[in-house]
Amino acid sequence: MPLITALRKNSRGLRRARSVSCHPMDEKCKKMCKDAGASEGDGLGYDLSSFVFCRCMDRNKNNITTIYGPKHYSESSCTNACKTHLEVDRGEVDDEGHCFCQYFGPTPLPFLGNLHTIANLSPGYDAFLQWRKEYGNVYTYWMAERPIVAITDYKTIKETFIQDGDTYGGRYLFNEHIEIARGGRLNGVIMTEGDENRENRRFALQILREIGMGKSIIELEILDEVEHMIAELRSEMDSNINDHDILKRLDLASGSVINQVVFGYRFSGENEEEFMTLKRLMDESVKEMSKPIRSIVMLYPSLRTFPFFKTAFERADKIDQQTLEFLKAKIQKYTQKFEAEGLADSNEALPFVGMYLRAKQSGNCDVNNGSILFRDDALLQFCADIWGAGHETISTTLSFGILYLLLDVDSQSKMQEELDKIVAPDEKVTIAHKARLPYTNAVINEVQRLANLLPQNLFHRTMRDVELNGYILPKSTVVVPQISCVLFDEKIFPEPKRFKPERFLDKNGQLLKVEELIPFSAGKRICLGESLARMELFLFIANIFHTFKVRPVDPLNPPTSEKIAGFVVGLKHYEVRLQLRHSKQHSK
């Protein structure tokens, strides 16, 4: 098993770079010594755990003690040797002519890489923030033996993922493991790259726009869910229920919104059980994905054959397959309705699944020519991507939003005062009001920034060789835009872990456009449902707080805003006390 040991020289002394063997280095040293001009066959390697070096002999048998090379290495030959033999970013020759193989980043451990540090600094941000302070805005960290180039500042993210999106737009998601979990083929939007991703993404966006994403038709559906939720909360109040499980209501309401987009119906009454089943499966999938052992199995697929790791893999795989089978059954049920009612030839507005089936039958894309859009499993992957990404992130962000305003009564009151000036007591808050509500918009911006849902963003890979900050990143280098570091950048957002909506307002109280606020990621892989998500966050938060004062159940022991580590960060469940703000208010 390769050992990640290392060596690097800088102003603070020696740092580790990467070796490729945990055995004595004799054979590699012989080759390197020969390449460097020493006598063939000479070279003795030492593995000292903290670093590895070679001792080469020149033709006169004079010792040249070196670290990966003799004293007469040039800068270019040193770098070339490091890349060739060690897959390390760069070689540096010191004043004495020794060649040091180096990369910039934290010291990795054998087998784990830097997973231990990420796991220990819960919920996952602090490792990346700490490394940025130590190594700069761009550095290498290790997921087991996989080096990841992290880009942690907005300027460089803009130059790479936004301005050069085709180069940095590949996808790396431990593909062998994902292919197994997804039935042997990568499809949809999240997992694909290159031409396939461009075609899938363009097609999905076209359908989402046609069904009204970002338009009034979707707004009406969201407001319908808002009204149902508020009516149910008021009904609980009328029944003298004091403690309200608002998170459960938000979960169901946001689930209904995305289900209407994908399948065309909301969850209510008997079919709420359907939502609970799908929610449970997706929660379990995210929970399994967040476990360190899952990461290890993803990084070392061969471990699936060992009993302990096999059990972990099979448990996670079972949940993934159950989720896909559940979605497949929903697709089959809708397809039967689609065919029975002749919806292909109708002018009726259809949800995503219906629009997909209509496009497939219309022949606008040539299936016979191998269109990637209409493979047998393509629709299933589209639904998994849109439903999963469109529910979990919105529901969690709303939960954080209610919590932050519950804990910050001053901000809650300021937002409510602003709402009262613009929106009548018996009126719903709509998108038409949005431009006149700068403080409310600032609150929602701050909720998204501080919630900072993904401690570690999804991995990309370079689609060609590219230069970054003087380094050459070879094709297929794994890179990640660390959005969490941007959202917690002290230079942009002072006191980044405090809830301060005013940071998004100018001195006149008007909303500032802050370019660095990128909660939906950036570039060509920006979230497909950004406009839908923004609309949901605004309509839910504004209407809830226009209707109710929200307070903790126990003012002396309010819920904590401490986050729970995970692929998507979570929070501890809490309930709230509600008080109607107006005697006459809209009801269902």
Binding-site residues from annotation for heme: 527
Measure the CA–CA gap between 67 and 65, rounded to whole angstroms: 7
Length of the chain: 588
- The number of beta carbons lying within 10 Å of the beta carbon of residue 407 is 15
Q: Residue 468: helix, strand or coil by DSSP? A: strand
Measure the CA–CA gap between 423 and 413, rounded to whole angstroms: 15
* Number of Cα atoms under 13 Å in the Cβ half of residue 287: 8
Q: Are 225 and 256 in contact (CB under 8 A)?
A: yes
Q: Are 369 and 199 in contact (CB under 8 A)?
A: no
- Helices and strands, counts by H and E, the chain: 19, 18
Return phi, psi of residue 571, to 5°.
Answer: -145, 160
Measure the CA–CA gap between 323 and 281, rounded to whole angstroms: 6
DSSP assignments along 265-317, one per residue: ----GGGHHHHHHHHHHHHHHHHHHHSHHHHHHHH-GGGGGSHHHHHHHHHHH
Token representation of residue 395: 């529901």
Which long-range CB contacts under 8 A does 204-209 form with residues at least 24 apart? 204/352, 204/382, 204/386, 204/528, 205/528, 207/352, 207/355, 207/356, 207/359, 208/261, 208/352, 208/528, 208/529, 208/532
Please report where in the chains the tokens 């220990």 appear, as a residue. 120
Q: Burial level of 491, CB count in 10 A (0-12/13-18/19+)? A: exposed
Binding residues: 527
Measure the CA–CA gap between 406 and 21, rounded to whole angstroms: 55
Q: Identify the CA nearest to 392 among candidates 541, 287, 486, 313.
A: 287
Q: How far, CA to CA in Å, does 125 sit from each of 172, 255, 454, 566? A: 21, 28, 9, 11
Q: What is the 3-state secondary structure (H, E, C) of 141-205?
A: EEECCEEEEEECCHHHHHHHHHCCHHHHCEECCCHHHHHHHCCCCCCCCCCCCHHHHHHHHHHHH
Positive or negative: CA dihedral 482, 487, 489, 492: positive
Q: What is the 3-state secondary structure (H, E, C) of 478-491?
A: EEEECHHHHHCCCC
